[in-house]
Amino acid sequence: MRSLLSAAVFLFATAIAAQGVTFVSPLEGAQALGPAVLEVTTTAQAVDRVDFFVDGVLAGVARKPPYRIAFDFGTAQAPRTVTAQVWAGGFRTSETASVTTAGLSVNDTLHVDLVEVPVRVRSAKRSLSAADFQVRENGVAQTVRDVRMERPAAHFAFVVDRSLSMDGGKLEAALHAVEAGLAQLRTGDTASLVLFNHHVEAARPIARGTRCSAIDTTPSGGTSLRDALASTASAERTYAIVITDGGDRNSELSEEEALRKISGTRTIVNAVVLGSSHARFLDRAASNTGGSVVEATARSVGVEVERILADINSRYLLIYQSSTTARGWRSLDVKPRRRGMEILAARKGYFAG
């Protein structure tokens, strides 16, 4: 009898644990097409992160409430299984919940309420609102209800060349550019400064208001670019921004070793090269990780760093309620409503019904 009671208590406790993760979106049996939000709530304490899977493939990770990510279901009409795994207590425990969306048949009619449009925007204005965007669906103007900043918090590693060739004001200009760039970081972001010549210095934590230009350093020595950039590789979401004026003469890591170390992490490499003699390594590192390499002068390096950070901060999600009833493909056209704002990329449309 005691064994049966113990088993019953165990099963009851397990049932409670299974109810600790609840889907907010999508719901069981709901239709899922195009861009959507995957979101759960949890009763777990000390949550480390929430992993979202779609049909068994990792779709994204949320590290703080609300626990949600953006995901594009595309135009496929088959049922999809969405799973959320909540890790807590220093990754010692986890709870999992799943929902299955409904597939569509040729006789189904899809009723679209809210439409979500991922966009990338370059803007001098730090916070954008619905009034800053114009959205047309099949040529008909729509009312934007909400704008969300979708870039998660990240670490920004500024990797600055202090070799002898950075003399003549280039190093000072680079540090001023980093100092100004810190003002563009968002709540939750962290930053560090890595100075290098033939020796790679330990990363210095920096934050908004840090006077990088006041750091007592003098250009000298050779260049260990590969070693310096590889030192920033981390499992944490990291944007590495390199400022240098040339190649690499002193690194211990080969190009392939450094690329493997960087490309196997969540690091995105961007670089500003003072001059036109940048190394192939930077081009490959940026291409592998989804970043870019631009050329500048000591006078324009600040502008280029500002532009890189603006592009990183340019990811938004527009939400509107569709007034269109037509089935099939619905084209989207997103435009800015004011000057000083540029739409870099936006979803071109979605499938309804």
Peptide bond preceding 26 in cis form (omega within 30 of 0): yes
Residue 311: which pLDDT band, with cuts at 50, 70 and 90? Answer: confident
Tell me the chain's radius of gyration from C-alpha atoms: 24
Higher pLDDT, 350 or 163: 163
Give the pLDDT confidence of 79-115 residue by residue, as tens digits.
899 999 999 999 999 999 999 988 765 555 545 457 8
Residue 2: which pLDDT band, with cuts at 50, 70 and 90? Answer: very low
Q: Please give the share of the chain, as a percent, with pLDDT higher than 70.
A: 89
Give the pLDDT confidence of 230-247 residue by residue, as tens digits.
999 887 889 999 999 988
Report the C-alpha gap between 115 and 139 in whole angstroms. 15
317 close to 70: Cβ distance less than 8 angstroms: yes
Q: Tell me what pLDDT residue 271 has.
A: 96
Summarize the confidence of residues 269-285 as an average pLDDT: 87
Q: Tell me what pLDDT residue 102 has.
A: 82
Full DSSP string of 87-132 = EETTTTEEEEEEEEPBP--TT------EEEEEEEEEESSSS--GGG
Domains in the chain (CATH in brackets) are 1-105 (2.60.40.10), 109-151+314-353 (2.60.40), 155-312 (3.40.50.410)
pLDDT at 10 > cutoff 50: no
Report the C-alpha gap between 173 and 165 in whole angstroms. 13
Residue 160: which pLDDT band, with cuts at 50, 70 and 90? Answer: very high
